[in-house]
A and B are shown apart, each in its own frame.
Chain A
Amino acid sequence: MSERRCDVVVVGAGPAGLAAAVQASRAGAQVLLIDQSIRPGGQFWRHAAEEHDADPGRWHHGWSTYTALASELQAAVDAGDVEYLCGHHVVTAQQISPAQQIGSAQLQLTIQPVPELAAGARGLMTVRAPAVVLCPGAYDRQLPVPGWTLPGVMAAGGIQAFIKTQGVAPGRRAVLAGTGPFLLSAAASVLQAGGEVAAVCEAANLTGWVPRGAAAALVPSKGAEGAEYIRLLAKHRVPYLRRTAVTAIHGEHRAEAVTLSRLDSNGAVIEGKQRYLDDVDLVGLGWGFVPQSELVVQCGARTRVDVDGSLIGVVDVHQRSSVEGLYLAGEITGVAGATAAVVEGRIAGRAAAREAGYTTGGARQLAAAQRDKVLRVNHRAFAQAMHRAHPLPEGWESWMQQDTVVCRCEEVPYQRLKEAAQTLSAQEPRGLKGTTRTGMGWCQGRMCGTAASCVARRSGAEGAEESAVAVAKRPLAAPVRLADLAERDPSA
């Protein structure tokens, strides 16, 4: 097993990670940037290779911010100041105990080539560094619904990712459903890619959004982006239905139609207020995002439950976690979007470089750092207001059928989960795992975690935080094959 050393390791090359790597490198630190994708950009700036899409910017907001970061990164790579390891995932992260410390390294990561991108060599590598910035981002949060395992039903973010890399929509006529402004951006992409959008269903009421207009004023770019989506939807006569959810998806071998239901103020289905929408071959579901907190939990850093119910890493004004040398930026500190992630990435990059012994002191740098401090506070305020306006519907279980699959991997139906939660001492997701296999499959609870912990909490006495930590506790951040583990050098 090979071993590398550097001053600052940045995990994730999305908006937060790119900004962190560039900033730390500017300060003079030797940086290692690791990302599991083939190309930088993360979820937000996901794009096709240049030779396949001459104009990737058309799918994006803030694309010039991306190109500026990417070219600065490339220059630093060319100069030998940054090593960019794409197609590799970080599988474990931990603190180095004082007894094992050599030099100034405080943290240790295990990394591996992503099997899909590397035929052959799969050996694990260890990296040690005095400072690590984790920017692993998030994935779409899901709630189950009858028919959601049918082909043609996708995560809303998955539709977005498909369009951004393939240039076409993964279906002809779509319905987007769930909650959050992201549904609008996914719908806009479908339209832009030449698809039709039959409806966008927003579970929230959104009247609560108005008094929080002040928060939108804090981040004017967000307001402008939202207005642009609304205009595009209006132009294409796409209905934006509030307090409405897709409560069943129908089809023989794939999605063909959906049932839309009006929701009451508790987010539960109102009987008799259903509508059948035909001729739909693409359903995009998204209920906000779940930060990828496993590496943070593995390191033992302090976490808490955010207003949207996500488990997030706790940081100070320098994006420093409770663990020495560990910095966090982007969605992992609270889902707030790409612009906020860039700001946090810059702050974390500066602080991590400082931790590794590199200080930047010029007047311009100080002014920039000061500006970022203000921006960070504004973005956080905006995000909190947004989450309050788009809560998970308390009454979502009203649209479940006994046989609706909750855990897609292990095919655990709702009824089995509920019975286990009520009768067995399975009062938190880890207990439910053992008795029903919920969350034990390939995805390790990433798709069913929200629903499973919700069912568990309602039947038992588990607190939100315990439950969320249990879901995020994964010994490995990505699956590793036994053969590759065997290759591991036991002395390292």
Chain B
Amino acid sequence: MSQTVTVTVDGEEITTEAGRTVAAALMLAAQRPAWRRTRFDHDRRGLFCGIGVCFDCLVTVNGEPALRACLIPAEEGMVIETSERGARGE
């Protein structure tokens, strides 16, 4: 079984350990503490409740919007889009 998983985050390829959630992949492999911007204040948000109740961590996965990154297992080839494109390294 493969020990790593490669996904695309906002067009960029990221390799993460197998068994990560999408949220953990964003934080640990893509080094992004936040990946969503709020509607009104354009505030940065990432993981908060960690268990699927707060909806702060929403991402688009394989074209499907508004999914909770804390609940999705990262899978090979997944295309992840965030509302904070290009914010890496800030």
Contacts and interface: CB of A to CB of B under 8 A. Distances in A.
Interface of A: 36, 38, 43, 48-49, 51-53, 114-117, 119, 139-140, 149-155, 157-159, 161-162, 165-166, 168, 170, 253-254, 281, 405, 408-409, 411, 441-443, 446-447
Interface in B18-36: 18-21, 24, 27-28, 33-34
A152 to B, nearest CB: 6
19 contacts: A51-B19, A115-B64, A139-B49, A152-B46, A154-B47, A154-B48, A155-B48, A157-B50, A158-B49, A159-B50, A161-B51, A166-B28, A170-B50, A254-B44, A409-B55, A411-B38, A442-B55, A443-B55, A447-B49
A151 B69 CA distance: 14
A157 B90 CA distance: 27
Interface centre among A153, A168, A281, A408 (most CB of B within 10 A): A408
Contacts of A38: 73
A350 to B, nearest CB: 29
B56 interface: yes
A151 B46 CA distance: 6
A52 B19 contact: yes
Contacts of B71: 114, 116-117
A330 to B, nearest CB: 15
A271 to B, nearest CB: 29
B24 A162 contact: yes
Contacts of A154: 47-50
Contacts of B64: 115, 119
A152 B46 CA distance: 8
Contacts of A168: 28
B33 A152 contact: yes
B41 A411 contact: yes
Contact of A153 (B21, B39, B48): B48
A221 B53 CA distance: 30
Contact of A254 (B21, B33, B54, B67): B33
Nearest to A251: B33
B18 A162 contact: no
A408 B28 contact: no
Contacts of B72: 116-117
Given A151-B33, A443-B54, A115 B67 contact: yes
Contacts of B54: 155, 408, 442-443, 446-447
B70 to A, nearest CB: 8
Interface string B49-90: 111111110100010100110111100000000000000001
A320 B72 CA distance: 35
Contact of B90 (A140, A253, A446): A253
Contacts of B17: 52
A166 B21 contact: yes
A330 B28 CA distance: 34
Given A151-B46, A253-B90, A254-B33, A446 B19 contact: no
A30 B62 CA distance: 38
Contacts of B39: 411
A151 B48 CA distance: 8
A152 B45 CA distance: 9
A151 B20 CA distance: 19
Contacts of A115: 64, 67
Interface centre among B17, B48, B64 (most CB of A within 10 A): B48
Contacts of B38: 411
Nearest to B50: A158
A38 B19 CA distance: 12
Contacts of B51: 43, 139, 155, 157-158, 161
Interface centre among B54, B56, B58 (most CB of A within 10 A): B54
B19 A49 contact: yes
Contacts of B50: 154-155, 157-159, 161-162, 170
A441 B55 CA distance: 9
B46 to A, nearest CB: 4
Contact of A170 (B19, B41, B47): B47
A53 B19 contact: yes
Contact of A408 (B19, B56, B68, B73): B56
Nearest to B75: A119
Nearest to B43: A149
A320 B38 CA distance: 43
B53 A411 contact: no
A119 B48 CA distance: 24
Contacts of A161: 50-51
Contact of B20 (A166, A442, A443): A166
Given A51-B19, A165-B24, 9 more contacts: A36-B52, A115-B67, A116-B67, A116-B68, A119-B62, A140-B49, A151-B33, A159-B50, A446-B53
A338 B66 CA distance: 32
A164 to B, nearest CB: 10
Contacts of B48: 153-155, 158, 408, 447
Interface centre among B34, B43, B47, B53 (most CB of A within 10 A): B53
A149 B28 CA distance: 20
For the complex of A and B, 10 pairs with smallest distance between CB atoms: A158-B50, A52-B19, A442-B55, A151-B34, A151-B33, A116-B71, A151-B46, A161-B50, A254-B33, A116-B72
Given A115-B67, A152-B33, A254-B34, A51 B53 contact: no
